Amino acid sequence: MFFLKKKEIPLNEVFNDNFVDIHSHLLPGIDDGAKNLDNSLELINTMYSYGIKNFVTTPHVLGDVYPNSSALILEKTEIVKKELLARGFNDISFRSAAEYMMDEQFVERLKKKDILTLKDNFILVEMSYFNAPYNLFDILFEIQLQGYKPVLAHPERYNFYHNDFQKYYQLKKSGCVFQLNLLSLTEQYGKGVQKITQKLLKENLYDYVGTDTHHFNHLKLLTKIGDKKIIKQVENLIKNNSFFK
């Protein structure tokens, strides 16, 4: 008996020159991503070998855990950009936004317009993995009142919604666009996340994708999405990311 081998696609054929990764943690030493400048460049170099040349990296802004100011994020960005040029990466576009936890400090930042956007008025936001903010829909309203558009990071990872699927429709009606973590297509976050990811894909609720790269284990797992069946599911979303170029 012969078994058909899976049709694998090299990632540098999946990610073309117009693709922009809008979710990653590549700035050195300011969150749970890249540990130092060398680590930043090693991660970027590996992603570059996958065909990813455009980055809007998104360090956490999370209360007192990662209280990263916009000034610090931009300062670290310039350090990375300078080193990329020094190492001959002349065809990489590298800039920063942030991944904002929707908490009280975030609301204060909103009011001060102290926000780094993915592009134009698009903000990457997240929630705790334990529960949604009690005033979530008030925060989403405030985001839009201040002239921004909320991009909800990895909605598939909020386990408290897995048995209440209608909440995803409510979030969309409240003005959210959804960003899929490509790693959610693998076993990285568990079977429950994989299952709900498939349902969200089937319902066409996603708008964009991101790698959410923190470290090399993530990049090693990312190669698993180079499967013909998986790519067919997300190829239009990957194309959508060119909006952020």
- Whether 5 is in a domain gets the answer no
- Whether 145 is in a domain gets the answer yes
- Whether 177 is in a domain gets the answer yes
- Whether 29 is in a domain gets the answer yes
The CATH code of the domain that includes 169 is 3.20.20.140
Please, what are the averages of pLDDT over each run of 10 residues along the chain (245 residues)?
61 96 98 98 98 98 96 98 97 98 95 96 97 97 97 98 97 98 96 97 98 97 93 97 98
**Residue 144, domain extent:** 11-244
Provide CB contacts within 8 A for 163, sequence distance 6+.
none
Nearest to 222 by CA among 238, 203, 201: 238
For residues 139 and 136, give the distance between their C-alpha atoms in angstroms, rounded to a whole number.
Answer: 5
* Structure-block tokens of residue 44: 């970027």
- Whether 220 is in a domain gets the answer yes
Q: What is the pLDDT of residue 8?
A: 84
Q: What is the pLDDT of residue 213?
A: 98
- Whether 1 is in a domain gets the answer no
For residues 199 and 124, give the distance between their C-alpha atoms in angstroms, rounded to a whole number.
Answer: 22
For residues 198 and 214, give the distance between their C-alpha atoms in angstroms, rounded to a whole number.
Answer: 23
- Whether 149 is in a domain gets the answer yes
In total, how many domains does the chain have? 1
Q: What is the pLDDT of residue 39?
A: 98
For residues 127 and 157, give the distance between their C-alpha atoms in angstroms, rounded to a whole number.
Answer: 10
150 DSSP β-pair partners: 123
Give the end-to-end CA distance of the chain in Å, rounded to a whole number: 48
- Whether 207 is in a domain gets the answer yes
